[in-house]
Amino acid sequence: MDGRISLTLILGEIEETISSLNNNNLIDAWYLDGFSPNKNPEMWTEDILRLVNKFSHQETTFSTYTSARLVKDNLKNSGFEVHKSQGFGNKRHMLIGTSGTVQKKERESTKKIAIIGAGIAGCCLAYKLAKRGHTVDIYDKSNSASTGATGNKILVTYPRLSAHDSSYARFCLHSFLYASRFYDQLKTSAWIKSGVFLMSHDSASKKRETSLLSARQDNLIFEQFDSHEISSKAGIKLNNGGLFFPHGGYILSEEICKDLLEHQKINQIFSTKITKVKVTKENKTLITVNSKDHEYTHVCICSGAESTDLIQINGVNPKRGQVSYIESSSEYKDLNFPVCASGYLSPLIEDIHVLGSSYSNNKSEEVIEEEHLENIKKLEDIFSFKVNVLGGNVGFRAVTKDRLPLVGAIEGIYLNAGHGSRGSTSAPICAEFISDHIDKTPTSIDQEVSLALRADRFN
């Protein structure tokens, strides 16, 4: 089906998982398969069935294998219209019916959507919307995609995990796994699924490693290696052990943005600055280019720290990041995957390695020698080789107070910003999330995490 069908699999206790559904999730059809009410009574309570009804619309249907009186009564008491029907297999009867009081939201078949900003967040969103059949105009003030914070040669894709069950921790894990599968499905040479090694180089990182290992011991997300083992795996000698993430890797940012924008329904409009975005009293969404208004069904701002020029938001700030391009050497030219400690080192890319990254409030857009030295100092955690810096690149990350991106609508304008230094990890799932909201389809992010991502949460 060319990616048009997706599966959202939610595992857990029924009351907790169904309560976590997003309010955008209005289900068209339910198959209630909860085993016999005698064996699994918690599945068939009136409270659970009221939640099922809550996420239904007027045309929602249901069916269930059981026809027990308890189930029938609780369905009726929860707002369902219930009928007994001929069963299947060796079952005499089954229950079917309809539910819901909310009117079904009509879905427009195609929409005309503007995206402002052609970094990884904007390009992922353009791709997702185009794949759903919508026409997309993507604007950027630069003369090509993948400039600004995405303008580094590579973006490393790995999660910042926590052993605690929080909205932040769940988002980090889910966005990482989603991103890895998303890039796999693109079948692009710009995604190198090499794995990523997260080194335990100081007391804080060793403490995090210990807590993660106590929370997960299945080796599905990460695996622990000592310094000798990981050196053999990496192809170079490393100073410390840590955790290896086999589903991680890195993207070649310019190439992957180009691949994402190749869809025939995406119109690329570069060297163009948007001066205003507004929603009129007549509910028309307009963008202003060269004093001329252009109307769209929806507009999404994906321009990182510069998003504040177009929409009133709080809690997002620019942070300068400078990477250093270093000459390769026989001592580390065979590095097989990115190594992350206080900084990171990439494998060989176009005859250089990328070393990063600084993190400062400096407003200069020029490459600064002091920040090259800062990057080299961070490299000492990884290994003790001397390096020769050939050049570098500067970008400004949009960071938030709670390290989560700002995703969703503010007064009719969509925002997708604040991804910080992890845009390659968080951008794909946020693109899916916004696309689901635009299409009024069930989202793959639960309600608690959705609230944590709210674009206006600092306003």
pLDDT at residue 106 in the model: 64
pLDDT at residue 110 in the model: 83
For residues 5-26, b (16+ Cβ closer than 10 Å) or e, as one string?
eeeeeeeeebeeebbbbbebbb
By the 8 A CB rule, do 174 and 445 touch?
Answer: yes
By the 8 A CB rule, do 337 and 195 touch?
Answer: yes
Residue 147 sits at the vertex; the CA angle it makes with 145 and 152, to the nearest 5 degrees, is 120
Q: Residues near 141 by Cβ (< 8 Å), separated by ≥ 6?
A: 271, 272, 273, 274
Backbone φ and ψ for 271, nearest 5 degrees, come out as 55, 40
Mapping DSSP to helix (H, G, I), strand (E, B) and coil, where does residue 411 land?
coil
Mapping DSSP to helix (H, G, I), strand (E, B) and coil, where does residue 419 land?
coil
* Other beta carbons less than 10 A from residue 209's beta carbon: 18
By the 8 A CB rule, do 344 and 356 touch?
Answer: yes
One DSSP character per residue, 199-262 reads: E--SHHHHHHHHHHHHH--SSSS-EEE-HHHHHHHHTS--S--EEEETT-EEEEHHHHHHHHTT
Q: Structure tokens of 345?
A: 């080192």
Q: How far apart are CA 405 and CA 445, in angstroms?
A: 14
pLDDT at residue 180 in the model: 98
Q: How far apart are CA 236 and CA 334, in angstroms?
A: 7
* DSSP H/E element including 69: helix 69-77
pTM (predicted TM-score): 0.88
pLDDT at residue 105 in the model: 64
- pLDDT, tens digit only, all 459 positions of the chain: 555 677 777 778 888 788 777 666 678 899 988 778 888 888 899 999 998 988 888 889 999 988 889 999 999 999 899 998 888 777 788 889 988 666 766 665 689 999 999 999 999 999 999 999 999 999 999 988 877 656 688 999 999 998 888 999 999 999 999 999 999 999 999 999 999 999 999 999 999 999 999 999 899 999 999 999 999 999 999 999 999 999 999 999 999 999 999 999 999 999 999 999 999 888 889 999 988 999 999 999 999 989 999 999 998 999 999 999 999 999 999 999 999 999 999 999 989 999 988 999 999 999 999 999 999 999 999 998 889 999 999 989 999 999 999 999 999 999 999 999 899 999 999 999 999 999 888 788 888 899 999 999 998
**Residue 349 CA to chain centroid, in angstroms?**
25
* Other beta carbons less than 10 A from residue 164's beta carbon: 10
pLDDT at residue 302 in the model: 96
By the 8 A CB rule, do 328 and 339 touch?
Answer: no
Q: Calculate the alpha carbon distances from 199 to 124, 206, 208, 243, 296 in Å.
A: 29, 9, 11, 6, 47
Task: Give me the domains of the chain, ranges plus CATH numbers.
Answer: 27-99 (3.40.50.150), 196-246+317-400 (3.30.9.10)
For residues 215-241, b (16+ Cβ closer than 10 Å) or e, as one string?
eeeeeebbbbbeeeebbeebebbbebb
